[in-house]
Amino acid sequence: MDLREKLKGKFIVLDGPDGSGKGTQLKILREYLESHGIEVAGTIDPGGTAIGNKIRKLVKYGSKGITANAEVMLFMASRAQLVAEVIKPALMSGKTVLCDRFISSTCAYQGASGYSIDTILELGWAAIGDTWPDLTIILDLPAETGRQRAGVERSRTVGDDYEQRHLFDSPTADYFDSRPLEYHRKVRRIFRNLAGKYPRKVEILDVKDDTIDVVSEKIRAILSEAEF
C-alpha cells in the first residue's frame, strides 16, 4: 500500500526515556512524511494546547510535593483537551498525527512511582475515549545512557532562568529528572513491557548504539511494515 494512503488518519506516538532522541526523530520523521506528500499534524504531551501547556509547566517544574494521583489526573486533563482540540480534528481531516509522548509515558513514569498501570489505562479511556495511538514506538536505551545524553543536551541550550527554560523541551533538569537512577530503571522496564498491556500496537526499538540516521531508517521500516 502507498505510504500516504496507509498513514492517512493515523495517530503515531514516539515515546521512551529522556535522552532517547524522541524530539530529534519526530522532526526527521515529519520532514520525511511531508516529503512524500503526507499531511502531518505534530504535537506534544503534556501540552499542545493553551490549557495543556499550563499543565505541562506545572507538572514538569512546579509540582514538588504533588501526589501521584493528582499528577496522573493533570496529565489526563491535558490529554483530554489535546485530543478534543488537536488530535481528533486532525485525524478526521485525514492527517497523520505525530506526538511526542502520550499515555504510555504515564504508564512508565507514574507506574514507576507505584501507581497502578491498570488504573492509568482506565483513566486514559475516560479522558480520550477511543482515540488511542494506532502505533506507539518506544525508543529504548539504558537509564544511565539516557540520563547522560539528556544532561548533555540541556547543558547546550539554556541556563536556569525559569521563564526562558519553558521555551525549550526540557532544557533544564525537571521534577522527573531529579528522581534517583533506580526510578529511571523502573521507567525503562515498564516501557519495555508495555506491549502486553497497552490497548494498541507497541514497538520497542533499541537505540543505544545506533546513529541518528540509523534510528530514522528503523522507524521508517516499522511504519512501512506496520499493519493497522
- Per run of 10 residues, the mean pLDDT along the chain (length 228 residues) is 91 94 95 96 96 92 79 96 98 98 96 94 97 98 85 46 35 57 93 94 94 96 92
| Angstrom distance (rounded) from CA 12 to CA 31 | 15
Instruction: Please report the pLDDT score of residue 63 as a whole number.
Output: 64
Instruction: Please report the pLDDT score of residue 160 as a whole number.
Output: 38
Instruction: Name 129's Cβ contacts closer than 8 Å, sequence gap at least 6.
Output: 83
Pairing of strands 40-44, 135-140: unpaired
Instruction: Please report the pLDDT score of residue 170 as a whole number.
Output: 42
> Residue 71 belongs to a domain with what CATH number?
3.40.50.300
Instruction: Please report the pLDDT score of residue 67 as a whole number.
Output: 84
Q: Range of 181's domain?
A: 3-225
* Number of domains, the chain: 1
Sheet holding 96-100, edge to edge: 40-44, 96-100, 11-15, 135-140, 201-206
| Angstrom distance (rounded) from CA 40 to CA 34 | 7
Instruction: Please report the pLDDT score of residue 144 as a whole number.
Output: 87
Instruction: Please report the pLDDT score of residue 172 as a whole number.
Output: 40
Instruction: Please report the pLDDT score of residue 1 as a whole number.
Output: 67
Instruction: Please report the pLDDT score of residue 68 as a whole number.
Output: 83
Cβ atoms 94, 50 nearer than 8 A = no
Instruction: Please report the pLDDT score of residue 169 as a whole number.
Output: 42
